[in-house]
Amino acid sequence: MSKKTELEFQSEIKQLLHILIFSLYKDREIFLRELISNSVDALNKVQFELLQNRVEQDKELELKIDIKIDKDKNMLVIEDTGIGMTRKELIDNIGTVAHSGTMEFLKKASKKMKDGEKLDIIGKFGVGFYSVFMVAKEVKIITKSYKSNSSGYLWHSEGNEKYTIEKWDKQKRGTRIEIYLKDDAKEFLSEDKIKFIIDKHSKFVPFPIYLNGKKIEKAKPIWSQPKSSLKEEDYKDFYKYISGYDTEPLSYIHISSDAPYQFHALLYFPSSSIEFLNLLKKESGVDLYSRKVLIQKGSTDIIPEYLNFLKGIVDSEDIPLNVSRESIQNNLVVNKIKTHIVKKVIEHLNKLKEKDFEKYLKIWNNFERKFKEGVISDYTNKDKLSELLLFKSMNNREKMIDLKSYVENMKPDQKEIYYLFGENVNNIIKNPALEIFEKKGFDVLFLLDPIDEFVLDNLREYKGKKFKMAESADIKLDDKEKDSEKEDASDFIKYLKELYKDRVEDVRVSERLIKSPCAIVNPDNTPSVGVEKIMKMMNKDFEFTKKIFEINPKNSLIKSMIKLFEKDKNSEKLKELSLQLLDNQLLRAGLLKEVDESVERIYKIMEESLK
């Protein structure tokens, strides 16, 4: 036999091993879950290869996991008949940290170790194979790949800096992990304990598990069972199994259909978006099965991208078992099922919003961006998806409302749905554009997320009511007096136009301001300041469109300025104040370019006022 090679672990793994060996854990038992889960992956993969007729050896081997306890040797063995590993795979897969999640764990763990706290976060991360070193003083992996002409290998490590690999005689395909237990980990030599752990973490494993030769009773896959036979607990347990988290899902949906296509789907809404991010790293999303055989893990074809935060499975007898990954995408049945699922998920969310708003709000808070992505990307369902949107508004600053409730509360003479963009509620409510809406009693949606405007732009209307930016809405006070004042101000307006030159598109008397002296208004059919800011972020050379400047002749400041104008058209003071008037509004909107000039002018005005 050939020589034994000594290799060194990647430095992150050394660090990881150090933490795993030298700290105290609450959940050491999860090492078994991690190893079984690796075996399940390996079995799923070989099952798939078998279906594609790409396996030449050991074709008849039962797909299973064997666990053996050897009390004399203080040894626990976990063996599978999965794909196994080649020498290169052993080095690449076991010798390096692939997951960003593991790095995250390392950061958190080393911080906690310094703080002297007991480490309780390992269960949340599941550091995979290495968690075995919480209970092992020595580990051997004996493995043989399913690929033709592969030979067996022995990998050996005592949890220090190095490991060895040598050729090893292994007859059949698969992986055998021999764990030599630490003195304080003898509890894992108990059959009852092992059974208990399997029942707790691995009860839905889709392959038989044998313990010392006897088959362990396990739960049947729950998605294919009739809903009436399942309890709330079953659904929650299954979520824990597939997510690896000890939390409950926010909600779930179980769909079974016989015609025109047969399929089962069980989909969960994770309880937090953090979970969703971690799940992603675990190749999560929705797993696609055909007749209970996994054919695509974390399938991107059975659900649209904007629903990829869902965790679960879809199983259909109508999808052929031997489809290649490439052809799943173009498979007619897959596409029909996808359409069906999307419809059901949206319906489920809309119902939840009506029945249990609190719960819906939690889902919304986690995944609102995903829903919005849906409105923009899913043309067929955008109307239904628009029902899911929630907003704060001028009349609802604390709670969130949907478009339906906005429309129901519209005034009889109100024709459009108004919205205003801002960074937060406090900033938005100071916008003078709101004044007229307050007066008329028309509610205004507050768009606090930069993407919101794109979403509404995309929708254009809701139930026949057009979306309209409050700043450019053609909306007027219907009181008579203002007409006369308009004439009074016309010379002053001319004066301002001259003064502002090309800094604004136009200057006019406002028909909407009630208290504020002035406002800048968006010309019709131009993007709002919020959208333009995003454009500017993407392209430095982007120029903001010119705004319209409106003044309110009923405001006392403007009144005094007009008086001054009528007395002395060439007043230096009037010029300064007028320039500052525009600067103030531009400043407020974040559009002021001439900041230094403006500050200098304010100093001058301050000095004047003290004279």
Binding footprint of ligand ADP on the chain (CB under 6 A) = 34, 38-39, 42, 80, 82-85, 93-94, 98, 128-129, 175
Closest distance to ligand ADP from the beta carbon of 288 (Å)? 19
84 φψ region: left (φ > 0), alpha (ψ -120 to 50), beta (else)? left
Taking the least distance from each CB to ligand ADP, the nearer of 156 and 370 is: 156
Closest distance to ligand ADP from the beta carbon of 136 (Å)? 14
Taking the least distance from each CB to ligand ADP, the nearer of 131 and 431 is: 131
Residue nearest ligand ADP (C-beta atom): 128
Taking the least distance from each CB to ligand ADP, the nearer of 153 and 188 is: 153
**What count of other Cβ atoms lies within 10 Å of the Cβ of residue 312?**
24
d(CA 66, CA 78): 6
Taking the least distance from each CB to ligand ADP, the nearer of 85 and 469 is: 85
Q: Where are any strands of DSSP class E within 281-430? A: 286-290, 293-299, 311-315, 390-393, 396-402, 417-421
Closest distance to ligand ADP from the beta carbon of 38 (Å)? 3
Taking the least distance from each CB to ligand ADP, the nearer of 150 and 316 is: 150
Closest distance to ligand ADP from the beta carbon of 282 (Å)? 7
Taking the least distance from each CB to ligand ADP, the nearer of 91 and 425 is: 91
255 φψ region: left (φ > 0), alpha (ψ -120 to 50), beta (else)? beta
- Tokens 């990954």: give the residue: 325
d(CA 69, CA 73): 9
d(CA 322, CA 559): 81
Closest distance to ligand ADP from the beta carbon of 175 (Å)? 4
Taking the least distance from each CB to ligand ADP, the nearer of 278 and 522 is: 278
d(CA 565, CA 571): 7
Closest distance to ligand ADP from the beta carbon of 280 (Å)? 13
**Phi, psi torsion values for 193, nearest 5 degrees:** -60, -45
Closest distance to ligand ADP from the beta carbon of 248 (Å)? 23
Closest distance to ligand ADP from the beta carbon of 401 (Å)? 43
Taking the least distance from each CB to ligand ADP, the nearer of 175 and 251 is: 175
Closest distance to ligand ADP from the beta carbon of 369 (Å)? 27
- Contacts of residue 292, defined as CB under 8 A and 6 or more positions apart, other chains included, come to 206, 221, 224, 315
Question: Residues of 19-45 as b/e, b for ≥16 C-beta within 10 angstroms?
Answer: bbbebebebbbbbbbbbbbbbbbbbbb
Q: Which two tokens stand for residue 410?
A: 């519209």
d(CA 236, CA 240): 6
**What count of other Cβ atoms lies within 10 Å of the Cβ of residue 500?**
18
Closest distance to ligand ADP from the beta carbon of 49 (Å)? 12
**What count of other Cβ atoms lies within 10 Å of the Cβ of residue 309?**
22
As a whole number of Å, the end-to-end CA separation of the chain is 101
DSSP 186: G
Chain mean position to CA 456: 21
Taking the least distance from each CB to ligand ADP, the nearer of 38 and 386 is: 38
Query: CA–CA distance from 529 to each of 115, 349, 474, 524, 570 (Å)?
Result: 47, 32, 18, 13, 34
Closest distance to ligand ADP from the beta carbon of 227 (Å)? 32
Closest distance to ligand ADP from the beta carbon of 39 (Å)? 5
Taking the least distance from each CB to ligand ADP, the nearer of 10 and 322 is: 10
**What count of other Cβ atoms lies within 10 Å of the Cβ of residue 62?**
9
Taking the least distance from each CB to ligand ADP, the nearer of 284 and 528 is: 284
d(CA 472, CA 470): 6
d(CA 398, CA 408): 19
Taking the least distance from each CB to ligand ADP, the nearer of 155 and 252 is: 155
**Is there a contact between 90 and 141 (Cβ–Cβ < 8 Å)?**
yes
